[in-house]
Structure 1
Amino acid sequence: MVAGRYRVTDRPDDGVGVPAVDGPSGARVRLFGLELPDLVAPDRATDPAAPSYGQLLTARVAQVAAAAPAHPRLLRGLAAGPEGELLWVAEESVSGVPLERLMDDGPLSPYRVAEIGADLAGALRAVHGTGLTHGNVTARTVLVCEDGAAMLGGLLLGAAEEELCAALGGEVPRRVYETRALMLGPLAERWAIDPGAPADTWALGVLLYRLLTGHGPYPEHDLPTLLAAVRDGRHHRTDGCGPLRPLVERLLRPDAEARPDAAAVQQELRELLVFAPEPYPDGPPAPPLPAPRTETGPPAVRPRGARPVKRPPTSRQKAASAGRPPRIPARMLGPLVLAAVLVLMVAAVAGIVLVAG
């Protein structure tokens, strides 16, 4: 049992969490553990009057869970509970594969990325409609279901991480920065300059770029270099983004007011998908047949008296005969038919006269 109510049913799956069952409801859930530093672990607090950060995070997660909307592309966050040095965050469990795992095979096609982006933009649109900020849009928090739909999770876990960073840093911005650096690392999606909904759409642009090219749009080998590039708007070239290039470039703009919101992103991606090429029902088209080989030897000699073999016309001969104009012009067909009828009538009358004669 975890956090007093969740029964673990299987081994942890990296990127998907720990599979478990909620005791009171029997629903399948996924658990994500957030490590609490020794200094703030509830059972190790040296000062009895010190606040319990586990309880503080639990209250914050409950607040976000109550305000979160219900959306078909948003994984529903349930609750959180501290246990020892861990804060366990529960989220609904669905069958699927983390988007991060799908990226192991290389960049995705632009239209597949557009499908995923439209799903995520719809989920963010619902989150922003309630006044919340997601703050955790990454390839690890996106789950791709069996039907191909992308679902955005990690809302409660992101809220707990940000609350913990703020609690540890206190009123000192430098300490908050150092705490976030240790907890999050140089992952571009989590380091937007501006807060609120524009930070989520910027993170979505970073994720789209990563899916299209196989790497992030900013250098991520160390955090200071990453933050300097984000602040100055110096991202890598967008040549590999294909038809999504204009949208990605707008989403990565440093000015928050110049970026489209989630609703505009969803609409633009849907319009792009209208013109997406249809997949072949039976796989890719067969390669063209090789050209017929030209014989280079001496021509065949037909024996004297032998009849020539009549061969069926080739496709080229059929096409040539189909495109050849008829020997009798179309405008002459009517008069010729009329003349033939008159000749037949005259012949019939002459025959009757001769017989009667």
Structure 2
Amino acid sequence: MNRNAIIAGRYRLEHKVGRGAMGVVWQARDERLDRTVAVKQLLPDNSPDDAPFRSIVRAMREARVAARLKHPHAVTVYDVVEQDGTPYLIMEFLSSRPLTELLADGGPLPAGRVAELGAQIASALAAAHEDGILHRDVTPNNILITEDGQAKIADFGLSHATGEGTMTGDGLVVGTPAYLSPEVADGEEPGYPSDVFSLGSTLYTVLEGAPPFGTDGNQIALLKRVARGEIIAPRSTGPLTDVVLRLLRRDPRERPDMAEAERMLAAVADGRPAILSGTKRLPAPTRRSWLPFAIAGGVVAAGGVLAGILLFDDGPPDAAAPVAAPLPSAAKPVCEARYEVANRWPGGSEIRVSVRNSQDTRLTGWEVSWTLPPGTRIANLWNGSLAQDGDRVRVSEVGWNAVLPVGGTTTFGFIATTEDDGGAAPVATCRSS
């Protein structure tokens, strides 16, 4: 297709403005309505038999579905046309740059800005999900940032419509491998939770400078890491850590829906706690079932790696008293620490610790401490300050997460390496610092 060519009798191509795996984008003139538009020439796959024809049919169908969505943070689809057996998508023209370019030029963005952009994209995706529309390929390359700093998401459903995907031993996986959810990488059909995970992967990338599963020229190896849910521990997510890690839950049932993701991101963008008292709380990860858990008198023990929890205003209880004794009403804990084994592999685990203000006033500092089991070491701590004296460990706030409102939470995490999966579980305490 050349410059000045006319598509569907009304769209005159002016010049190319981009090219991706799914097609070529032109700036064009709608001569009937006298306005500038973007024309995407969709490229069908090169499969044998009648697959290219079926690919065109899918592209037309999915594009028409996407055209139903009208949202300020989604690129508007005006029309879907076909010429000489090739489908064309007619969209609003935006003077914009994809997030991938912004990252390449300036590096990772600050957490507050990422939360703002993430809330905008989540609002568009929530509206799409409400209307029964899946995106299937939420990536930094499909998020456009306009000249006035607003985010818009493009290409709803087109990765599926055009046959774009990654071939594995089990078949075709739809989407960009580095941003897929584990269930899709494992061969399952994408669903709304898959879009949630991909948004989390996108936000992680914009914050950290690389996707949560890293980069690998070997797509099969990358897909295996994705399917196992082996994310790289974040270091720069700051106040967004709680939100991003919830979006990246391996089990799709444990992720928030897109509307809840929007609310949490908007809260961080406004400087408010993301997880408020009364907000829908997510269940503990099912992967915790890999470790034996026991509950007795308010103390949770995770056999062999870490345990948690209850936390006293004036330090630990008297040594003569049973650790699991119920607390009197006057000894209401200042804060509570909840440990989650987010992932586990031979010789180590990824641990996430949620700290919650359980008092009736604002908490202005916190510290969680415990004794390490024999042979256990801590590596790659994020969102906390580590102090260690022999096998005694203390983790405290790092400034931005020091102040917690009533019912507010924050999260820190680390990698625990161990030589022995057995042994007694430690008991941790949380107190004000």
Does the alignment reach a TM-score above 0.5? yes
Question: Of 35, 41, 45, which residue of structure 2 is paired with 1:33?
Answer: 41
Residue matched to 1:152:
153
The separation in 1 between residues aligned to 2:245 and 2:122, in whole angstroms, is 16
Q: Is residue 98–residue 141 contact of structure 1 (8 Å, CA) maintained in 2?
A: yes
Does residue 7 of structure 1 match 2:3? Answer: no
Q: Deviations along 1:73-125, whole A, 9 cap, x unmatched?
A: 11112333344575332221122222211111111111110111010011111
- Paired with 1:11 and 1:207, the residues of 2 have a C-alpha distance of 26
* Distance across 2 between alignment mates of 1:10 and 1:39: 29
Q: Paired residue for 2:139?
A: 138
Residue-by-residue CA offset, 1:280-319 (whole Å, 9 max, x unaligned): xxxxxxxxxxxxxxxxxxxxxxxxxxxxxxxxxxxxxxxx
Q: Which amino acid aligns with 1:250?
A: R
CA distance 1:145–1:132, shift in 2 (3 Å): same
TM-score with structure 1 setting the length: 0.64
Give 1:320's aligned residue: none
> What pairs with 1:184-263 in structure 2 (closer than 5 Å)?
186-189=177-180, 193=184, 195-221=190-216, 222-263=218-259
Distance 1:160 1:147 in 2: 26
Distance 1:126 1:230, change over 3 A: same
TM-score when normalising by structure 2 = 0.53
Shift of the alpha carbon at 1:175?
Answer: 4.5
What is the RMSD of the two structures over their aligned residues, measured on CA atoms? 3.1
Residue identity in the other structure for 1:111:
G
Unaligned runs of 5+ in 1: 277-357
Secondary structure at the aligned position of 2:38 is classed as strand
Cα distance in 2 for residues equivalent to 1:145 and 1:51: 34
Q: Which residue of 2 aligns with 1:123?
A: 124
Q: Deviations over 1:207-256 (max 9, x none)?
A: 00000011001033122222222221110011221111111111111111
2:240 and 2:252 map into 1 onto residues whose CA distance is 19
**Higher relative contact order, structure no. (Cα contacts within 8 Å, ≥ 6 residues apart):** 1
| Structure with the bigger percentage of strand | 2
Q: Which runs of 5+ in 2 are unaligned?
A: 273-433
Secondary structure in 2 matching 1:21: strand
1:316 maps to what in 2?
A: none
1:169-184 pair list within 5 angstroms? 174-177=170-173
Query: For the Cα contact (< 8 Å) 2:79–2:91, is it kept in 1?
Result: yes
Give the number of the structure whose residues are more often helix, by fraction: 1
CA contact (8 A) 1:65 1:78 kept: no
SS in 1 for 2:222: helix
Whichever residue aligns with residue 270 of structure 1, its letter is A
Take 2:11 and 2:169, find their aligned partners in 1: how far apart are those partners?
36
Cα distance, 1:30 vs structure 2 = 1.5
- Count of aligned residue pairs for this structure pair: 258
User: Could you tell me how far apart the structure 1 residues matched to 2:80 and 2:170 are?
Assistant: 28
Q: Deviations over 1:111-149 (max 9, x none)?
A: 110111010011111101101111121111111122211
CA contact (8 A) 1:135 1:190 kept: no
Match of 1:23 among 17, 31, 41: 31
Distance 2:208 2:164 in 1: 34
What percentage of aligned pairs have identical amino acids? Answer: 30
- In structure 2, distance between residues paired with 1:173 and 1:109: 39
Contact 1:136 1:190 in 2 (8 A): no
Q: Secondary structure at the match of 2:172?
A: helix
